[in-house]
Structure 1
Amino acid sequence: MSARTRIAVIGVGNEFRHDDGVGQAVIARLRERADARPLPTGTVLATCDGDPARLIGLWEGAALAVVVDAAHAHPARPGRVHRLALDEGVLDRPPTTSSHGLGLGEAVELARILGRLPDRLVVYGVEGADSSLGIGLSTRVEAVVEPLAGDIEAEVVRQGGVGTCG
């Protein structure tokens, strides 16, 4: 991330594992929306496989980092969205886990120890129905992509004002 990046929106996951690709789907939708309504200058839209070092590299130095990831919950309600905000360097532990071996909690803790947290971190976890091999989101997860992209766009605009997407 460049020193000029003020806002990073990161879609985490694997688009070849059905609902685990929700982060990439939201980023794709945000890119489409930005064609009509540019995001604030310095906003970066990125995807990541969830590796903690890559996540930290994407959000380091940002005033706001928004992360979208698939989540598992027990009991599951596919399509339910959880919004978590960093509070004093600790990400609240939701009743969900990341769909990756090392979760966002580990990346946050490592970034905190290294002094590489963004000023503000917001995580959207979307409960999935299917993380088996294959492409395409389940119906219930696909249904939240558009409204979630709208919520994230509004949050980014509130943080950064208007401008053009970087």
Structure 2
Amino acid sequence: MDRSSRSRSRSRTRIAVIGIGNDHRRDDGVGWAVVAELARRRLARGVALFRTDGEPTRLIGAWEGARRAIVVDAARSRPSRPGHVHRFRIHDALSPSPHGETSSHGFALGDAVALARVLGRLPTELLVYAVEAADTGPGTALSPPVAAAVLPLVARIERDLAPRGTDSGG
């Protein structure tokens, strides 16, 4: 899987920002689009950017060694509000989303969290942004509502990355 990184070594990575997705399945590429936009920004030292398909061992490998991980993924929800962003923190247990979202992939983030917990490889803090998808069919362009969510989400993640930036959102 492609990986882009702002840090020179894994041991210096304090924060991993991980986009989950597939840029050939329209809105499923939103995580990768967010990471691509962040790569164009000036980020703090120690921030590493990753793209993954979300397979649990690759996801764990991306956040391994980071004290904080921020994950961005497309989600399906009923009722659907394409482009709506849900933000939640993973604490001791992965709770089901109150709105019934699931990953747009065949597996859930919870699988990776459960495996990482057993292996002792969870980051100290795990923050997830789930962007409601409109279309995950074949194609490379994000749907208009999901594309419109990218820049505001990038700005929100930049605030999460800012020194002393605290937010109790959940």
One-letter amino acid matched to 1:75 = P
Matches within 5 A, 1:51-130: 51-88=55-92, 90-94=93-97, 95-130=100-135
1:26 and 2:34 aligned: yes
What stretches of structure 1 of length at least 5 have no aligned partner? 161-166
Cα offset for 1:92?
2.3
Give the distance between the partners of 1:86 and 1:61, measured in 2 at CA: 17
Give the distance between the partners of 2:13 and 2:140, measured in 1 at CA: 31
Residue of structure 2 equivalent to 1:163? none
Q: Secondary structure at the match of 1:3?
A: helix
Q: Secondary structure at the match of 2:163?
A: helix
CA contact (8 A) 1:84 1:91 kept: no
One-letter amino acid matched to 2:111 = E
One-letter amino acid matched to 2:18 = I
Q: Which has the higher contact order (CA 8 A, sep 6+)?
A: 1
CA-based RMSD: 1.3
Which of the two has greater helix per residue?
A: 1
Q: Secondary structure at the match of 2:162?
A: helix
Structure 1 length-normalised TM: 0.90
Deviation above 2 Å: which 4+ runs of structure 1?
none
One-letter amino acid matched to 2:67 = A
Matches within 5 A, 1:111-150: 111-150=116-155
Give a deviation string over 1:35-67, Cα, whole Å, max 9, x none. xxx212111011001110000001012111000
Give a deviation string over 1:126-146, Cα, whole Å, max 9, x none. 000000011100000000000
Give the distance between the partners of 1:159 and 1:49, measured in 2 at CA: 31
Q: Secondary structure at the match of 1:91?
A: coil
Q: Secondary structure at the match of 2:12?
A: coil
One-letter amino acid matched to 2:16 = A
Cα offset for 1:158?
3.2
Give the distance between the partners of 2:139 and 2:123, measured in 1 at CA: 33
CA contact (8 A) 1:19 1:70 kept: yes
Cα offset for 1:159?
5.6
What stretches of structure 2 of length at least 5 have no aligned partner? 1-8, 166-170
